[in-house]
Every structure is written in C-alpha cells, then in structure tokens.
Amino acid sequence: MKTIQLEYTDKGYSYIKCTRKECLNWGGLAICDSCGCDMLEEVYLIYILGQAFCQKCFKEWVERSKKYEDDLTLQKQNHKRWYAAHGFKAIEKI
C-alpha cells in the first residue's frame, strides 16, 4: 500500500493525486469520470464524489462545488478507508 498525502479543497473536501498507473492498479480505467478523456497525467481521486477526474475537470469542480457540513461529516468518518480500498494509506499533512 502506497503512503500518500491527503489534500483538501478550499471547501474542505479531501482528494489525492495519483498516477495513471496507480489508477489502473486499483481497477480504474484512467478515464475521467466527468469528461471521459483518457487521463495521461495526474489523476484526482475525490472521496466525496466517489470519482476520479482529470486536472481540468477537477479545477472546474473545485470552482463550482459547495460546502455541505453533512458531506464533511461523512468524509471524516470514511475517507481514509475509501482511499485504502484503492491502495493508498492516506495521511494528513504535517
């Protein structure tokens, strides 16, 4: 299991950046869940959406997303286990 640092949007939603190869390793197809493009660069794995986005779609989502406290509560309870199911030991920033 790869140790990876959790990152957060300005609304508080967690995500990790991983590679195409890592996406393929967990069984993903390295195709953006938003636009359907082949993700050749970084893959943004987003717990609260349960999806993987390319960089362009991730930036667009960050701009239009809204902060929901219920989502953040759910995220706090489950996101590290969800990332672990994808082969990552997610750790907080030091």
Which residues have a Cβ under 8 Å from the Cβ of 44 and sit 6 or more positions away?
15, 16, 17, 52, 53, 54, 55, 58
What backbone torsions phi and psi does residue 46 show, to the nearest 5 degrees? -115, 110
Number of structural domains in the chain: 1
Question: Which pLDDT does position 6 carry in this prediction?
Answer: 96
Whether residue 94 is predicted with pLDDT greater than 80 in this model: the reply is no
pLDDT digits (tens, 9 = 90+) for 41-93: 899 999 999 999 999 999 999 999 999 999 999 999 999 999 999 999 999 87
Question: Which pLDDT does position 29 carry in this prediction?
Answer: 87
Beta strands per DSSP E along 26-87: 43-46, 51-53
pLDDT digits (tens, 9 = 90+) for 24-46: 888 888 999 999 999 998 999 99
**Token code pair at residue 74:** 């759910």
**Token code pair at residue 70:** 């219920």
Structural domain span for residue 8: 2-91
Residues 70 and 19: their CA atoms lie apart, in Å, by 30
